[in-house]
């Protein structure tokens, strides 16, 4: 099914969009570039582990790994800080941990969006303690809301402070399936 109207999809879910922030074509072009950049950075490596932070990163991660042109493994973590709200609770809980060993491996943690930085701040020390050879963050979106003690090595887009949904990002589990990213209008 080809999606032609962001407004109709979002309206059916009982919300209005403010605007389309990134089209499916813009996202695809940037994810393709990021895949090439990661491929170049890890050329010659045979231990690359791409670790997706679920749920929001699953579509981005699926597209990204198809554009990475070197051998890799994929695993997942699930962390939660939003629940059904539009703002982070500030409390990050690890709901599901990766089964793959990080010890001695090149690890790229894939995140959908960096806003408060709480999720990564909670997870990075724990992941570093597992002894990876290297640990980098790849984020599709970065709001640049605060100065962080770390920065993602790869960022798809510096994005507005709006509440964004689509391409894996959700509001109360809605809108993940949209092939573009939109800003939800205020209620």
Residue 5: the pLDDT is 59
Q: What is the predicted pLDDT for the residue at 186?
A: 76
Asked whether residue 154 carries a pLDDT value surpassing 70, the answer given is yes
Q: Is the pLDDT of residue 24 over 70?
A: yes
Per CATH, domain 6-12+47-184 is 3.40.50.2020 = yes
The model carries a pTM of: 0.86
Reading across the β-sheet that carries 73-80, which strands appear in turn? 93-96, 73-80, 48-54, 106-114, 134-142, 154-158
The two tokens of residue 59 are 């579509």
Point out the catalytic residue in the list 18, 115, 170, 187: 115
Bigger pLDDT: 114 vs 93: 114
Question: Is 115 among the catalytic positions?
Answer: yes
pLDDT over 50 (residue 1)? no
């Amino acid at each position: 099914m080809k999606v032609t109207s962001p407004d109709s999809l979002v309206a059916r879910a009982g919300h209005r969009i403010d605007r389309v922030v990134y089209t499916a074509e813009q996202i695809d072009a940037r994810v393709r570039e990021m895949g090439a950049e990661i491929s170049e950075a890890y050329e010659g490596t045979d231990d690359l582990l791409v670790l997706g932070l679920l749920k929001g990163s699953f579509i981005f991660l699926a597209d990204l790994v198809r554009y990475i042109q070197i051998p890799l493994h994929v695993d997942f973590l699930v962390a939660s800080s939003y629940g059904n709200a539009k703002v982070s609770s500030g409390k990050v809980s690890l709901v599901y941990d990766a089964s793959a060993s990080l010890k001695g491996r090149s690890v790229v943690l894939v995140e959908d969006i960096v806003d408060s930085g709480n999720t990564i701040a909670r997870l990075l020390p724990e992941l570093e303690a597992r002894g990876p050879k290297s640990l980098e963050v790849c984020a599709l979106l970065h709001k640049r809301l605060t100065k962080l003690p770390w920065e993602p090595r790869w960022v798809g887009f510096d994005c507005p402070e709006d509440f964004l949904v689509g391409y894996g990002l959700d509001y109360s589990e809605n809108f993940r399936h949209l092939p573009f990213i939109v800003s939800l209008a205020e209620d």
